[in-house]
Structure 1
């Protein structure tokens, strides 16, 4: 954006405008130039201009690929080395919370996960066709894929009583995505089968173990998607 707003900037002027160090910009610009994001970084031109890739990034739809939850996950990898040395996670070093704690407290983040889980439609036909549903009266759902599982069961003509075990923010998000929210018990409890739909993907090993232990107290059978 800074180069687009003021084409012809020198590297030093760009560093000043962005409030970063000159040496830091000096390391980054050759890499950006090699990918066509900027030009003029190493060709003797009088100033910096956007390259073809940089011009594409001005498009709103292109920018969506580099913002939001997935982008923040990638940026957290800048903390990978110290996380490996210290035994923690890059996300926790970057944000102060585990990834699960972050998404469970943020409706927008959790909503992104729920929408990503819509691609499970290509797999859930196999799940709903499984004979296990013939003896299921109550199904406990958890995870951002819960809405997709509920919809798949509905589409397959499966009508077990549904309950959802989630925190308050995820419940509020999921209510807006399930086919019939009033037919669902939004509290955890005993069930014939528990389906954890993408529930482990954003949890640490310790958080995953706690969730599975919790599900084991409610259902004799668990399905992990």
Structure 2
């Protein structure tokens, strides 16, 4: 009887030892793949992150097509009205034409008079001062008008108002930089009052390149 009990205890101890060894082996076997997986995840490149700018495909850009970075500009910043004068950045040849743009950015609840308002001293005025050999073609292309918030609802410009005019470079104009100036006059008003009239001279540079000979 004692011998049977001794054998039973021995078998129980052997079984417990085997289970302990098996458990250790299983733990070691599970931990190692998990560690390898973590290392692989740490070394794997991030595929969802946006590529740096210098790695993006040529031609990829977030800039608006009408970006002012592609123009020579000068601006007048104001609390109620900002004005930007711009011409294309690309050089022009004698005999060519280019657009000149005046853009008003008018704060909400503010307005300026139209270009043909009466009396004339209240009207928005754009006067070009061109270098020798430069000639304005036609009249200003004017933005659409709205109605004033004042009692008489006269026509006004508000929000963003863009004026454009075509300039022609004479065939005899020599190569080099030329300054184009636009004298701008306007008066900003809201529903109850008008500020003092503002007059600004904005200037931009147009680069004229040498005329091409007939053989080119």
Q: TM-score, normalised by structure 2?
A: 0.21
Q: Would you tell me which structure has more strand in proportion to its own residues?
A: 2
Q: Which has the higher contact order (CA 8 A, sep 6+)?
A: 2
Q: TM-score, normalised by structure 1?
A: 0.21
Q: Would you tell me which structure has more helix in proportion to its own residues?
A: 1
